[in-house]
Structure formats: structure tokens, C-alpha cells
Chains A and B, each alone.
Chain A
């Protein structure tokens, strides 16, 4: 059992995403403490990438803000070293394949292990390409998180069988970003996973309100929220911490 399973021991899991360094690494550090206090069960730390092809405009802009502020992979590692002195919940990196590959996959993943990162989410690595990183992740005890999408259909069993940590269920077509309505039959997707493996399933893409979170949590083991939090960071800048904290609390309360 990996550390990630702890995130799903406290009822339904609330999994917030933030882009490291938006608006600054100092603020990111404070946001993570605040989110843990507010009840977050697992935190997705985004390492910014210049060309995030799976992201909608909100997270794209957060990536640009972070990179123009001088954030680098090394600086994100330093941030996690600081965070791990206090934060006890699992943390995973969300970034793009090139950030890991270009750093040197083994070097990157071994540092993740050393600083206390529990898993990797790479949206541009489908099942067919996972061997690029999976062997190394296993060697260092990290979970490479598998994603399933509304278009996955018969691929779900194949993916779920080899999934580790949790399965990231992409709720909708398209890129990340808040949506007023989610029409995919999430329950059916999750059933296909559970039919082949007893592994937690968390739903992401498009969720922003406590009502949506509650609705998704009825079907899933956890709810992932990114763009809605990034919007708060963008709106309040360095003063965003209490607002993010309040939001995370409202979301966790909604799915408890």
C-alpha cells in the first residue's frame, strides 16, 4: 500500500490542485499549509510547463505567471523540502512529460522520493507510453497515476488493472476548467474500474461548486479541483490564502 491510500481513509477525499509559484513560491507554501488545515486529503502540486496542452486558459495562465516569476523545477523541489517538515498528507506532482524527461527521469523521480512526493500525474502519458516512467516510479516507490476519460470505454479495464495509487477519472471532454454541467456517466466509468481492481477513484475536470463536489462524491472516492482554486489565486494574488482556505473547507464539508 502506498502513502496515497491514506488520502482515502478519511471519508471522501478532497484533492486540491495548485500551480507552484503562482503568484509566488512563498504564497504556494502558505496555501498548502492552509489547505491541509482546511481538510484537504491529498495535494496536487503543479510544476509549471510552458505549453500545458491539457489545460484550459485558467491553468495555462497560472503556468505563465509562475514561469515568468522565475519558477524552476529545482525551486519546486526546494519548496517541497520545506513543506514536508510540516505537511503530513500525501502530495503528488502534476506536470508534463518533458519536465520529468528533460531533467533526467531517474534523477527527477529519485529526488521526488527523497523529498517526500508520493506520486506523479502526467496528462500527456497514456497507458501505451507509461513504461517511459513507470519502471523508475516503482523502483523509488512512487505511484504513476493513471487517467481515464469519457472516451476510454473498453480501455478502462486495461488501464485500471495496472493502476496504482488512485485512478484519475476525467469527468468531461476537453481541457481543464470549470463547467456548469457534467454530463458523463461517472458512475459507469468507476464501475468498470472497480470491476477489475479495488482502487480509489477520484474525479476531476470541471468541478467548482460544493454541490457538484457532493454529487461527484456520491459516485467517486474523491474529488479533484484545480481551476476554481487557481481563479481565487489569480483574483486575490498574495492575499489569496484565507479565501483558498475557506473554499477548500467548504468543498471538504460538502463531501464529508
Chain B
């Protein structure tokens, strides 16, 4: 079995043209991951630029309303650029800079990762180009302008279904075209090794903080940690430091779209099967001949036919559970959290809120749930209004 495996998953299924770049990245990552100066700079940027640590907020009204487990929200939405994406971007950009790269490229779905990449590129003075499905540039027009404002060039991708998977494919294609001065800042715990491991490490600051904050507030570990899952970076970050703590249930919430019994779904664990795509072996939504399925979710950030290989492994060994949440449930949760706590979550994060709304009432009042609010929902307001039949455009 080759490098970078999580059980049978992971690996490096990429064209030969990129192999040396991957080896170079692996070498750089190994060299710097435990380097004190690198980590000092990383922590400084997390704190001074991204605004970390993010708050662990006790959602008192929500807890009382649901009448069960005590609910805490990990506020990744309060980070600079409004989501957890910046944790990974800062890490990869510091690494890219040390590798002598002057240009970064990235895919984006909802635009959160694109905005984070464009932001840090601006701050570090690097050239930045973002690939985004044409469909998503329409769904998330404001984010396109935001990236351009930050000095990035945005390429609408028209191939395939013109959504996130096509943006990933196109960024890989562009990378094979120009490798010497360019780093591909992958936005999730996916792709070829070392990306899944490296992105997880940069995102694991989330669970590291949750653990410390929980010990401080409650003097004990939570009973459940839950997060939404597309590729799975915010979930992996929220889970990672709890994997060894077997009393903590880890729950990933996938996008069921219009339902896992329909074709309009993006719930990989619930409807996909083992495959090889985008550099990794993992679970993918696909047809009987291995053609990747045109997935659907209201959430552009979860609208991806695969899942990171470490999630596939946690699923195989039964360490994490993966549940599917429909568009309707997510939209209800989006509105619920806005009204009950005054926090508008990203529609992606609303998938985790939706499952908490089902689970909390079934649990004792002395139990604790942590929901990772991976991003803020400002970007989704117009789309949700339209979903509710209002003629509102950005």
C-alpha cells in the first residue's frame, strides 16, 4: 500500500506530471510541521490575523427550547473571512512561501475557501487565481466580487456540472500546466497525500480549542461533537483531537439535498461507494460504471460527490457516524438558529444544527453537544430568501 493511507483510503492517484510536486510538498510539510519558528508564525497569524481562538458559546435559549442536552456552538463563523477555511489557508500559504512559491491557485464551492485564499494571498503579496463552477459563480455572485476585490482572478468553470467537483478538476489541470512557481491550496481534507493529513492538521486547531474551552467551562469532555461534511475539513478539524476519547460521539452531517432516495443528493456516505477520484481512494457518489454522479445540495459548499479519506476510514471503523440532512431541514435550522440565538449560520453549518435539533431532545439534560458552526450565513441570505419564495437578489 502506498503512502498516506487511512485504512484502505487515501493514496496518491494523480498524473505523473504532479508527482514531483507532491513529493516536494510532502518533504516541506514534514520539515516544517514541527518546526518551532513555523509554528510560532502560524499561531501568531491565527491569533492576530484570523482572530483565534474562536469562541465556544453556550447556546442557552436553544438548549432550553429543545429541552435536552446542553448545546455549545464552536464559533468558526467569527474567524476573519467568516469561516474555518482560513485556518488551512494560512497554514498552506506559510508553507508555500517557504517552498519559494509566488502564486497560488484554489478551487471554491460556496466561495468561502476562495475568499480565504484570496485574502491571505493579498496579505502575503502572492498572486492568486480561483477556479469556481459557473453555476456557483451565479449562486454566490457576491463572493466572486469579494475575491476580485481582494486582487484574485476568478475563473468560472463550465465543464461537467459546473460546480465544486469541476472546479477541483480544473484546478488540478491548471496545476499540471504551471507547477514551478505555483502551489495548489486545496480547500478540504481531500485530494492526494499529503493534502488530507496536512489540511486536517491545520484544521485540528478547532478541536484543540474545543477541548481546552470545554475543560474550562464544564470541567469535562463533551458527549457529542458534530459538524457538517462535504469534503470534510471543518468536521475533521472538530473531530481530530477527540478521536482517542471514545466517550465522545463524533457525528458528520452530510447534505441529502432533496433526499437520499432521490438523485438530487450529495450524501456520499449514505449513497456512495468505494472509488478512486481526485487523487484519493474514498467513497464517491457514482453510477454502476464508476461515472461520478452529478450531485446536488442547496449548499454549494457541500455539493461534492466525494468525502475525505480519513472520514471514510472513521466510518469504516465505526468511530464516527454520518447522517444525512435534507435541504428543507437545513433551511429550517438556518432560520431557527438565526431567530433563537441571533446567529446566522452558513447553510453548510445549518446541516449540523439541523441534526442537533433532532438529537438534543432525545438526550439527558446533563449531556453536552458541541456543534461546529463552520461559517457565517451572510452569503446565503439571498438564496434562502429565494428558497422561501421571495424575489430577492444580491
Contact = CB atoms under 8 A, between A and B. Distances in A.
B366 interface: no
B212 interface: no
Interface string A130-168: 011000000000000001111111010001000000000
A103 B290 CA distance: 7
Contacts, number: 119
A173 B176 contact: yes
A5 interface: no
B19 A155 contact: yes
Interface string B266-299: 0000000111111100001010111110000000
Contacts of A148: 16
A98 interface: yes
A149 B22 CA distance: 14
B262 interface: no
B25 to A, nearest CB: 13
A99 interface: yes
Given A50-B160, A60-B159, A173-B176, A152 B277 contact: no
Interface stretch (B7-15, B45-53, B67-75, B323-331): B7-15
Interface in B166-215: 166, 169, 172-173, 176-179
B372 to A, nearest CB: 29
Interface in A46-98: 49-51, 53-54, 56-57, 60, 64, 67, 72-74, 97-98
A175 interface: yes
Contact of A126 (B15, B273, B286, B290): B15
Given A51-B160, A53-B278, A129-B2, A153 B16 contact: no
A238 B273 CA distance: 36
A57 B158 CA distance: 10
A129 B13 contact: yes
B384 interface: no
A242 interface: no
A102 B289 contact: yes
Contacts of A149: 15-17, 19
B12 A126 contact: yes
B17 A150 contact: yes
Given A98-B275, A151-B179, A173-B177, A67 B291 contact: yes
Given A128-B11, A173-B178, 18 more contacts: A49-B291, A50-B160, A51-B160, A51-B277, A56-B173, A67-B291, A97-B13, A100-B290, A102-B289, A124-B15, A126-B12, A126-B13, A126-B16, A149-B15, A149-B17, A151-B16, A170-B16, A175-B177
11 contacts: A51-B169, A53-B172, A53-B173, A60-B159, A99-B290, A102-B288, A124-B15, A129-B11, A132-B276, A155-B19, A174-B177
Interface of A: 49-51, 53-54, 56-57, 60, 64, 67, 72-74, 97-103, 123-129, 131-132, 147-153, 155, 159, 170, 173-175
